[in-house]
Structure 1
Amino acid sequence: MASRKPSTDDTTHKLKEDLHHLTQTIEDLVSATADDSRSNIKELRARAEKRLKETRDRLESRGERLYDEARDSVTHQVDACDRYVHDNPWTSVGLGAAAGIVIGMLIGRR
């Protein structure tokens, strides 16, 4: 059974939800500091720290996953380019020469 990759929209929605929960907990903590009840403040502080750690862990995990996906995509594209150059060396030389001529003409206009 293949696992479904979360889409960018799903990831963005989950991130917004995590940040909303974290913000709400921090707002509760700030509101509770107006009250002098020490046990209430300790409980809200513990909740805020827990949510902050969970959110940080999720963000790190998502960042690592996005980095891995980008690295794999770039590696695949580099491999495809390398195969094309090896399969079509004269076409590649021609494209390189044409690009060099165009760049040379643009620089020469200055």
Structure 2
Amino acid sequence: MADNNTFNADKEQLLDEVRNVLNNTEELLASAGDNGSEKARELHLKLQNNLKLAKDRLLDAEKAALARAKEAAKVTDQYVHTHPWKAIGLAAAVAFLLGLLVSRR
């Protein structure tokens, strides 16, 4: 359970860092302006298109992750309603093991 929480925290941190990089790139691109040669303008346009594509992909990844999380919650809820005693037993076993681990410290 702790590994899953660590994984989720790492994933959220990575998404935040990607968002920051995209925002910083967008700010740099805006501050650079369209002044310069034709090649500079082409590069500027390509950077804008790539930045938009990266932002769209990040948004799609966030939506997919949210959909998977909702589906997992739905399946878990259905399982607990279908097998309440198994869920209670599993929760008790996990609580007991966590109690043992905490008491050792």
Consecutive unaligned residues of structure 1, counting only runs of 5 or more, are 1-40
Residue 57 (structure 1) aligned with residue 47 (structure 2): no
Aligned residue pairs, count = 70
Match of 2:38 among 28, 39, 43: 43
CA drift at 1:44 = 1.2
Between structures 1 and 2, the one with greater helix share? 2
Residue identity matched to 1:50: L
- The structure 1 segments of at least 4 consecutive aligned residues displaced by more than 3 Å after TM superposition are none
2:37 is paired with a residue whose SS is helix
Residue identity matched to 1:56: L
Match of 2:69 among 74, 77, 82: 74
CA deviation digits over 1:5-37, x for unaligned, max 9?
Answer: xxxxxxxxxxxxxxxxxxxxxxxxxxxxxxxxx
CA drift at 1:80 = 0.3
CA drift at 1:107 = 0.7
Consecutive unaligned residues of structure 2, counting only runs of 5 or more, are 1-35
CA drift at 1:48 = 1.1
CA deviation digits over 1:20-70, x for unaligned, max 9?
Answer: xxxxxxxxxxxxxxxxxxxxx510111111001000011011111111111
Residue identity matched to 2:57: R
Identity of aligned residues (%): 26
Residue 102 (structure 1) aligned with residue 97 (structure 2): yes
TM-score (norm 2): 0.64
TM-score (norm 1): 0.61
Greater gyration radius: 1
